[in-house]
Amino acid sequence: DVAGNTSTASTTFTLDTATAAPVVALSSDSGASGSDGITNVGTLAISGTEAGAAISYSTDGGTTWTNSFNAVEGDNSVIVRATD
C-alpha cells in the first residue's frame, strides 16, 4: 500500500493429474454364456470414471473420437477414453 506495508498469503493444494482407465463391458451379454462377448444389445456399460468425466469412443484405432458409440452387426472393436 501507500505506507509501504506488505503482507503475504499462501495455500496448499493437491493437483490430480492421473485418471483411472475406464472399465468397459457390454450392457447385456446375451450369448450362450454371460461372458462370451456376444450380445443383441449394442450398448456399452462404462464405469470406474470420475464424476463428470467426458467419455469418448473410437472405432478406428484412436484416429477419430466421438461422444457416442453405435455398434454394428458383426464384430465391433472400440477404444473408450475418459477425460476428467
Closest CA relative to residue 21, chosen from 54, 47, 39, 57: 47
Does position 79 have pLDDT exceeding 90, yes or no?
A: yes
| Residue that wins the pLDDT comparison between 82 and 37 | 82
pTM score: 0.71
Q: Residue 54 phi/psi, 5° resolution?
A: -90, 130
Query: How does pLDDT run across 4-57, given as a tens digit for each residue?
Result: 888 899 999 998 777 778 999 999 888 888 788 888 988 999 999 988 899 999
Confidence of residue 2 (pLDDT cuts 50, 70, 90): confident
Nearest-angstrom CA–CA distance, 43 and 46: 10
Taking residue 48's Cβ as centre, other Cβ atoms within 10 Å add up to: 12
User: d(Cα 40, Cα 8) in Å, to the nearest integer?
Assistant: 63
The β-bridge partners of 24 are: 46
